[in-house]
Structure 1
Amino acid sequence: MDLLRSLPIGLYLEQPVTWLHRLDPRVKLGWLLSFLLAPVLASASWKLSLVALLVIISILAGIPWRALKPQMGWLLLFGGAIFVVGMFAPDSINVTQQLRSPPDPGVEIAQPYQYVLFKLDAGMIQLKITRKSLENAIYASSLIFTSIYSTTVYLLTTSPEEVATGLDNLMSPLRRFNVPVTEIALTLTLSLRFIPLVLEEVQNLVRSVYTRAIDWQKLGLKNSAKVWLTVAEKMFANLLSRAEQIAVAMQVRGFTTPNTHKVEWHQLKLRKIDFLAIACLGIFWTARVIIGGQFI
C-alpha cells in the first residue's frame, strides 16, 4: 500500500511543465471557483458539459495519466455509485395524469408527457426512474466529480507557493479591515506541504503493523482496538514532533512575523496566455447565464 501514490492529495506535479503550469495562479483560482459554482442551479446538460470540459482540459494540457490514474479510479467508482443510487431513489413527487372528459370516438389522443422513464415491478423488487430522480442523480454525481477532479488538477499544476501568492494578492484588500492575510496564506502553504508528511507517516505506521504478522482473530475486537489506538497515538506524536521541527527551522531562519519578515512567495505576472484564459472565462460565464440554467 502506497498512500503517496494512491492518494495524491496536495501533491504538485513538477514534470512535465504544461501550459496549465504557466498560467497565473489567480487565473487558475478563478477557473477553479467557476467549476465549483457553475453547477449550482444549472441544468443537467450543463453539469454533464462541465464534466466533459474538465476531461478535455486535462487531455489538452498533457497531464500524464500516471498522475490522474490513482484519483480517477475511485472517483469514477464513487461517482457511478452515487449516480445509480440517486437514479433509483424516490423523488418524493407523485405525478398522475387524468383526462378531464372522455375522449371523442375517432379522435386521436396526443401522447401524454412521460414523467416515469422506467418502471420495474417484479414482486418484492420495485424500481422506478423518473425525470426528477435522473436529474438528481446527474446533479449529485457530476457535482462530486467536478469538485474533486477540478481541485486535483489545480493542485497538480499549481505549487503551494503559487497558491499562497495568489490568495495573498486577491485578499490584499482585506488588510484594511485588519485581516491577517499573510498569516492565512502562510498557514495554507504549510498545510499543503504537510499533507504528504501525514500520508507518509500513516503509511509507515500501517506497514510497521502489517510486517509484525499480528493474528487479529486471537487478539479479539478489544485488543485490536487497543493496538490501533496505540498506532494512532504514535502517529499524532510523530506529526506534532515534525510540526515543532518545522517551527524551529522557521525561527532559526529569522522568520518571526510577516510584519518584520517579508515573505517572497512567487512573482505574479499576467501573460498573453493568462489574458486568453480570462477571455475564455468570460465566455464560460456568458454561456452559463444564457443556456446553463435551462432544463433539458
Structure 2
Amino acid sequence: MSLIDALPSPSFKRRPWHPNVVLLCLSGAMLAAAWLLSFVSVAPNRIVSGTAFGMVDAISWPGAALVSLLFIAMAALSSVPTSRHYRAMLGIIILILLLMPFGLMVAGHWLVDPSLPQARLGIGAAYWTVLFVLLLCLVELRLRLGLSRWWPTLLLAGVGIAWWGCAALWLDRLALVQEFQAREGQFYQAVGQHIALVGTAVGVSVVLGMLLAMLMRRYQRLQKIAFTLLNFLQTIPSLALFGLLLAPLAWLAANVPPLAALGVSGIGNAPALIALIAYSLLPMVRNTYIALEEVS
C-alpha cells in the first residue's frame, strides 16, 4: 500500500438543510395566487358585474415579472433562514406593500375606459390573498427577529397612510373609493355607532365582571356555576345567538313600552350589545377573579 493510500481521505459533510417552512410555503402561496387568481375586475357601473383580469393583463409582463421575482426572492431567502435574510425579507414585504396601490393605478390606467364615467376598478382575489399572506409573513418575521408588538403596528400604520394617500390622489376609479365618496357621511356615522356600541359593551362588561368576580370569591359555590354558564355562552355561534335573542327582545319591545322607547327591538343595537357583553364577560370575570386571588 502506498503512502497516498494510507492517508485518510477527506470527508465532506453536507450541512443539513433547514428552511423556514412557514415562510417558504407562504411565499409559494403568494406566487401561485398572483398567477392563478384574478388580479382586478372592471365593471362599467356599480350594477353590472365586472370582468376579471389576471396579473399580466393588469400590470403587463414587466410588472408581472417584477412581482414574481419578489416572491421568488422571498422563497429563496426563507430557504436559508438567517437573521440577515429575515431582515431582507422584511424589506421585500414593505416594498410589496408600498407597490400594491401603484399596481392598482397601472391596472386602472390600462383597463378602465376613460369615456365611461361610471366605470370602476375592483380589487381581485389575488390582491386580497397576497395582502393576507403578507400579514402572516409579518407575524412570522416578528417572532423570528424578536421585534416588539408595536413595530408591525407602526409599520402597517405607515403603509396604511401611504395607501390612503394613493387612494385619495390617484385611485378615484377604484370601486372602494367611489363607494366611500358616495356614502362618506354614512360611513362616519356607522363608525361612530360602532365605537359607541363597543365602548358601551366593554364598560358594562367591566362592571359586571368585577361584580361577578367579587361575588365568586365570597360564595365559592357560585364560581362553578358562573364559569360553566360563561363558558357555555362562548360555544354559541354569533349568528345563532342573534337568532335566540330575536324573539325575546321583540316580545319585550311589544309588551314593555319603556323598553321600546329606549330602542329595544328584535334587531338593531340591543341584540348586538347583549351579544358583545355575553362574549366579553368570560375574559373579564376570569382575569378579575385571578387578579383578586393573587392579591388576597
- In terms of fraction of residues, the more helix-rich structure is 2
Query: TM over 0.5: same fold?
Result: no
User: TM-score when scaled to structure 1?
Assistant: 0.25
Where relative contact order (Cα < 8 A, 6+ residues apart) is larger, the structure is 1
User: TM-score when scaled to structure 2?
Assistant: 0.25
Greater gyration radius: 2
